[in-house]
Amino acid sequence: MTTDLLGFIPSPPEGVWYLGPVPVRAYALCIVAGIIVAIWWGDRRYRARGGSPGTIVDIAFIAVPLGIIGGRLYHVATDWQIYFGADGKGFLAALRIWDGGLGIWGAIALGAVGAWIACRRLGIPLPPLADAVAPGIAIAQALGRWGNWFNQELFGAPTTVPWALEIDPAHRPVGYEQYATFQPTFLYESIGLVIIAIVCVWADRRLRMGHGRVFALYVLLYTIVRAIVESLRIDEAHHFFGIRLNVFTAAIVGLGALVYLVLSHRMRPGREPVVDPRNTPVEEAVPDPDRP
């Protein structure tokens, strides 16, 4: 089956550029851009809640590396056959994170552990910090998903809708070689994450959410988006009870986030009276952390 490619979304011809002998990878640039946005916005929101300037940067020095490690470990563990199965790429390939492959569930889990460790060392509570960074994390993921576009990976089923994504023959999965355009699941997820960030900011302002509920709302909404996007993808994946593993994981994590939202609201309504015990009360915080 062939299609007229006029009007479809083109894939980049390459995802790596060279500055002399140094490779510059688009996937890495997307991840770095997302991290920068998350730290900058998270710092503004945290200071607006009464936190100390620079705290988010201090936390990031521990949380970000652990998050990346956790994301890679989850990817390798759930797609181990790519590296250690028959004709696998081998151990060294499992370490080449710049080739793509980060599992968000592992990134969030180990990144949260890193943030908790850093908060313990600084003597500050984790929940208000998590609420401050939640929208920025969503935007960081939205930017990071564009790395999949550059790598021509993790797309959906064949389609000829006007916004279909062109995929080069070398990147088409086995059994789909005759198709030229596919569902741009990276774009669906990226748009969904931007919407999640907007909803989290709105809910935080409207309901004055605290005690980790903004973060829980982000997690709940993301699991819904991820389950929908995951159901469209055609890449090989492990299944659990006949369901793609990431869909099953999203359902479990989403249920946990929903339970936390309900119980937290009942047990601890409103926001924390003290966000950063190191600070004395201030007259005025950052006026509006959600605007440039």
How many other β-carbons are positioned within 10 Å of the β-carbon of residue 20?
5
Residue range 31-48, pLDDT digits in tens: 999 999 999 999 999 999
What CA–CA distance (Å, rounded) separates 40 from 38? 6
Q: What is the pLDDT of residues 1-34, one digit of tens each?
A: 444 445 689 999 888 899 888 888 898 899 999 9
Q: Which comes out higher in pLDDT, residue 79 or 200?
A: 200
Other beta carbons within 10 angstroms of residue 43's beta carbon come to 24
Q: What's the pLDDT score for residue 4?
A: 47
Q: What is the pLDDT of residues 121-152, one digit of tens each?
A: 999 999 999 999 999 999 999 999 999 999 99
Residue of 233, 254, 31 whose CA lies nearest to 150? 31
Q: Are the beta carbons of 143 and 34 closer than 8 angstroms?
A: yes
**Mean pLDDT across the chain:** 88
Q: Identify the pLDDT of residue 139.
A: 97
**pLDDT at residue 246, rounded to an integer:** 86
pTM: 0.87
Assess contact for 69 and 160: CB atoms under 8 A. no
Kindly indicate the confidence band of residue 287, based on its pLDDT and cuts at 50, 70 and 90.
low
% of the chain with per-residue pLDDT over 70: 92
What's the longest Cα–Cα distance across the chain? Answer: 67
Q: What is the mean pLDDT of residues 235-258?
A: 86
pLDDT tier for residue 99 given thresholds of 50, 70 and 90: low
Task: Please state which of the ranges 97-101, 121-125, 196-200, 278-282 shows the lowest mean pLDDT.
Answer: 278-282
pLDDT tens-digit map of 201-223:
999 999 999 999 999 999 999 99
Query: How many angstroms separate the CA atoms of 59 and 129, rounded?
Result: 10
The 10s digit of each residue's pLDDT in 154-191 is 899 999 999 999 999 999 998 999 999 999 999 999 99
pLDDT computed for residue 3 by the predictor: 44
What is the pLDDT, as a whole number, of residue 147? 92
Please give the share of the chain, as a percent, with pLDDT higher than 90: 63
**What pLDDT does residue 102 have?**
77
